Amino acid sequence: MLEQMKVPLPAGFDPDRHSGAVVSKVRQAKGPEWSLANIDTEANVAVFRRHVAETTVTAATKASGSVKAPESFQVSLSAADAKPTMGEKVAATLQDTYPGFYLTDFDPHLARATLTKLDDDTARCRGAVATALGVKPWDVQAAPRPGGGYLLGLPKSYMPSKHDEKLDEVATSVVGQFGWYVVADANKLTAQVIPSDPPTFPPTIRLNLAGLGADLHRTPIGDILPPPGQKKYDTVSIDWRAHAFGLVSGTAGAGKTNTLNSIIADQVAGGAALVIVDEPSKAIDYSWCKKYVRDGGWGCDGLRSAVTALALVYEEGNRRAKVLEQAGVTNWFDLPDDQRFPPILCIVDEVAGLLVGEKLPPGVDRKMPEVQEVIEENRLKFKLQRVITKIAAEKRFVGIRMLLSSQVSNQNSGLPPSLKTLLGQRVLMGPNPSKIQRDQAFSVADRVPTVPDNVANGGMVSKGVGGAELEGQAPVVFKSFFATSGQLDAELASRGVPTTSRPEPTQAEMDEYCPVSEEDLDDEGPAFDPRRDAPETFSDNGEQLFGAAAAAAASRRLEAQAKAQRAAKDAGAGTSGADGPRCPSCRAPIRSDGTCEC
């Protein structure tokens, strides 16, 4: 169809000089599609023409699953507009010609376009989705959804892994609010933007006491925050078969102790042996379960008891390893059910207080009793870190399980990377951990979802909330189950769970496994490999040494030990009794005059 327009010309118009200026002004005012046909000098007018698409208005039918709006029509395109590159021009022209209608299908090969009437909100949704997917607006279909939200038709380029997060951003930040969500069908290329309140937790989730110990190899710890629009809570559990060691982090009051107590009760109810290691000042948190530990499993009365309690576990692991070797298997799960060992659960709380040594100022008199006490305490902490690391590195296949707990989990808290890499189950309690806390607590912090604001700022809803990065499972936000220690104790007692008559290690056991000022007597395990197993070395004032300083200190120590051994041999067996106890620094006997080999 050809449309014609006459433009009056001013007096003195010269076709040769002024035609170009008139064409430019007409196109600027009316559109670039107008062209000069001729000039009527008698009427003093310029005749402009343009090709206009012929339109055919058709009643739209709504097929099943279609998102097509009820008011739409098709437009036949001119040959000039029926080109793939002309889509934006056609959209601008037709949408200007038909206000309230938008180009929703552009087919240059069939020389036709479809216009659909959209309200402003729907048009904005369509434009935002098109931008998110990197396509033209007419490649996306949009219509109001019954009950609120929007129905979408997606382009063929849609890929869930590439585009779903972008669609969620459109739903929550552009056309809706936090809590709205998108459900997409990649096969049908359709989606729905659905309004919803953001998911949350109840103030308290009670632990199912009757279900304690139902599965000895899988311990439920809480309910997972459901996806938007869902009300059903799934349970998150530690799968001990996937990994036997873990780290529970979080600030004071975040819910670490409550979570650990629930884990303890579940494992003990299922038949696991128990070992508790904690600072004496904090051990009251676990006083309820002291009677349920294995003989010698209460390592909360000082560093020597802590080292001994875990050294006994390590020795039991060695015994179990020999049983596996004799049975011709490499994992305790491969044993017949009637021959399988009961698991041993070790809880090591307040790791920073137990493992971080005290630094002494340079030049302090190392013979002062207070200094000797600090040096000895640092050596005991080194022993404790060593036995923890050896258990985690060597005993995962003999039924030993261990959870370390700390408010912070960096190297300064006694958890070097060499130890943290052995801890596959990761939990961080607290609704608002910092980025640094998350990076320290999790293996890959970016994969673990953060606690949403409505939960973190929800009062009682935020209590016991945290993130979990558990072996073999997708990371989640969860809320731990709650039960008082009295309720846990009463449930175990009602089941007749065995108790111990001697929870603390005996003096003889401590003398054997953690003698005062003696070298670590535990020489079992794989041969020393300096590439992996280089031990920590301390200076005489208790500070840990590294690099060349550590090597020099170790050399001096070995030289002093060799010298002391030669002196003892020369003096004869009968004179050794005249010497006093060994020096904590050089390990040589202290002579009657107070000197040693230092």
pLDDT tens string 578-587: 445 555 555 5
Tally Cβ neighbours within 10 Å of residue 15. Answer: 13
Residue 308, amino acid: T
- Does the pLDDT value for residue 296 go beyond 90? yes
Please give the CATH architecture assigned to the domain spanning 209-513: 3-Layer(aba) Sandwich (3.40)
More confident residue, 110 or 55: 110
Lowest mean pLDDT among 402-411, 443-452, 519-528: 519-528
pLDDT of residue 518: 44
Kindly state the average pLDDT of the residues 319-333. Answer: 94
214 DSSP 8-state letter: S
Going along 457-553, which residue ranges are E strands?
A: 465-469, 476-480, 537-538, 544-545
Beta carbons of 513 and 347 less than 8 angstroms apart: no
Residue 547 has pLDDT above 90, yes or no: no
pLDDT of residue 349: 95
Q: What is the pLDDT of residues 478-528, one digit of tens each?
A: 999 999 999 999 999 999 999 999 999 999 999 999 987 644 434 444 443
Beta bridge partners of 105: 114
The pTM assigned to this predicted structure is 0.70
- Burial label, 181 (beta-carbon count in 10 A; 0-12, 13-18, 19+): buried
Quick: pLDDT tens for 107-155.
Answer: 999 999 999 999 999 999 999 999 999 999 999 999 999 999 999 999 9
Distance of CA 6 to the CA centre of its chain: 71
Percent of the chain beyond pLDDT 70? 81
Going by DSSP bridges, is the β-strand pair 400-406/344-348 parallel, antiparallel, or unpaired?
parallel
Q: Are 386 and 520 in contact (CB under 8 A)?
A: yes
Instruction: Write down the domain spans for the chain.
Output: 2-51, 62-194, 209-513, 546-598
Instruction: Give the range among 233-242, 313-322, 358-367 with minimum mean pLDDT.
Output: 358-367
**Range of weakest confidence among 142-156, 382-396, 406-420, 444-458:** 406-420
In this model, does residue 49 exceed pLDDT 90?
A: no
Q: How many CB atoms lie within 10 A of CB 515?
A: 13
Query: In angstroms, rounded to a whole number, what is the distance separating the alpha carbons of residues 570 and 590?
Result: 16
CB 80 within 8 A of CB 93: no
Grade residue 261 by pLDDT with cuts at 50, 70 and 90: very high
Give the pLDDT score at 529: 42
Query: Range with the lowest mean pLDDT among 155-169, 362-376, 533-547?
Result: 533-547
In whole angstroms, how large is the CA radius of gyration of the chain? 38
Residue 110 identity: L
Query: How many C-beta atoms lie closer than 10 Å to residue 547's C-beta?
Result: 8
CA atoms within 13 A on the CB side of 375: 23
Q: Is the pLDDT of residue 557 over 90?
A: no
User: How many CA atoms, within 13 angstroms, populate the side-chain half-sphere of residue 391?
Assistant: 31
On average, the pLDDT of the chain sits at 86
* 533 pLDDT higher than 60: no
Would you report the helix, strand and coil content of the chain in percent, each value rounded to 5?
A: 40, 20, 40
Output the pLDDT for position 477.
98
Task: Tell me the CA end-to-end span of the chain in Å, nearest whole number.
Answer: 108
Tell me the per-residue pLDDT of 450-483, one tens digit each, with 9 for 90 and over: 999 999 998 999 999 999 999 999 999 999 999 9
The pLDDT value recorded for residue 542 is 53
Q: What is the pLDDT of residue 30?
A: 84
| pLDDT (average), residues 98-114 | 93
- Tally of residues, the chain: 598
The residue ranking higher by pLDDT, 450 or 81, is: 450
Q: Which residues contact 294 (CB under 8 A, 6 or more apart)?
A: 273, 274, 275, 344, 500
| pLDDT of 165 over the 80 cut | yes
